[in-house]
Amino acid sequence: MKTRILLTLVLTMACANAFGQKITDASYSTIGYIGSDGRVQNASYSTIGHFYLDGTVKNANYQTIGHIKSDGAVQNANYQIVGYIKSDGTVQNANYSTIGHIRDGKIQDAGYRTIAHADGVKAKWAAYFIFFW
């Protein structure tokens, strides 16, 4: 019995890692997954993009669609600034207007209303997924 429980736990964890950390909307309905390897999937597990440790963001066809710079600047494929992800979790557009917040796994709009959840997902990846994808 203990072996069966242990095996179930291991398989559950393996499946969770295969699909990545879940991103849900405010009602906890799944909208996507981001794997620890940076693979981005929609709710149906189709790969829609990739995040890379150097900050490059690519679509499902591996075409560069953006960049997240180390200072939090978010650029499009042509290196034009489209927004900022501040170290405190504040997300701004290119004009420095606050459009959202990422805090403690919650993704909030400018008015601090929770619009999504991304527990365990890197804040910059979660912010890009929701606000800039």
Q: Where are the domains of the chain?
A: 2-132
pLDDT at 19: 55
The CATH code for residues 2-132 is 2.40.160
E-assigned strands of the chain? Answer: 21-25, 30-34, 39-42, 47-51, 56-59, 64-68, 73-76, 81-85, 90-93, 98-103, 106-109, 114-117
**Least confident segment among 18-32, 69-83, 93-107, 115-129:** 18-32
Determine the average pLDDT of the residues in 28-54: 96
pLDDT at position 20 is 81
* pTM passes above 0.85: no
- Torsional sign, CA 99, 78, 125, 62: positive
